[in-house]
Amino acid sequence: MLRDGVTVEIASDLDQVQVLGLYRAVGWIAYTEQPDVLQAALAGSSRIVVAREGGALIGLARVISDGASIAYLQDVLVHPRHQRRGLGAALVRSALEPYAEVRQKVLLTDDQPAQQAFYEHLGYQEISKTASGSLRAFVRFDR
């Protein structure tokens, strides 16, 4: 139990309607316009944790990992009505719990101050600011 009846737990039996509602609430239409892709993405994730209040789904985070060398944090979302109460951070910590020994933790996110503050709060650094300064990140979008 996190606070006031809010729980963070490993996802089981995710209700697709609730999931779509949560993704819609944060405006992630790239997912909600392709529910089959979202369903497959969730099914293929290494670990998904959810936040619930009563029966309602109010947050979700998921990780894709080989369990040894890399843990990729793919989605973190908290329903707008529940933001800025520590839930996003609790979801990320719980999602990454089994990967404490995995050195390389990476993610892509929007270029917005809120996301920057959130991930810096969690110990992530922009790649250009890493200690060695000799890393480069590449991405390719095929659609």
Ligand X SMILES: CC(C)(COP(=O)(O)OP(=O)(O)OC[C@H]1O[C@@H](n2cnc3c(N)ncnc32)[C@H](O)[C@@H]1OP(=O)(O)O)[C@@H](O)C(=O)NCCC(=O)NCCS
Site residues (CB under 6 A) for ligand X? 26, 75-78, 83-89, 109-110, 114-115, 117-118, 121
CB of 78 to ligand X, least distance (A): 4
CA 108/CA 116 separation, integer angstroms: 11
Report the nearest approach of ligand X to the CB of residue 77 (Å).
Answer: 4
CA distance 84 to 80: 9
Question: Which of 68, 127 has the CB closer to ligand X?
Answer: 127
Nearer to ligand X, 129 or 133 (CB): 129
Burial annotation 64-92 (CB, 10 A radius, 16+ → b, else e): ebeeeeebbbbbbbbbeebbeeebbebbb
Nearer to ligand X, 68 or 84 (CB): 84
Q: Shortest distance, CB of residue 91 to ligand X, whole angstroms?
A: 7
Measured at CB, which residue is nearest to ligand X? 88
Contact 12, 52 (CB under 8 A): no
Are the CB atoms for 42 and 14 separated by under 8 Å? yes
Burial of residue 100 (number of CB atoms within 10 Å: 0-12, 13-18, 19+): exposed
Cβ-based nearer residue to ligand X, 23 or 132: 23
Minimum separation from the CB atom of position 102 to ligand X (A): 19
Q: Residue 30 Cβ, how far from ligand X at the closest point, in Å? A: 12
CA neighbor of 50 nearest in space, from 81, 84, 23, 32: 23
Shorter beta-carbon distance to ligand X: residue 68 or 104: 104
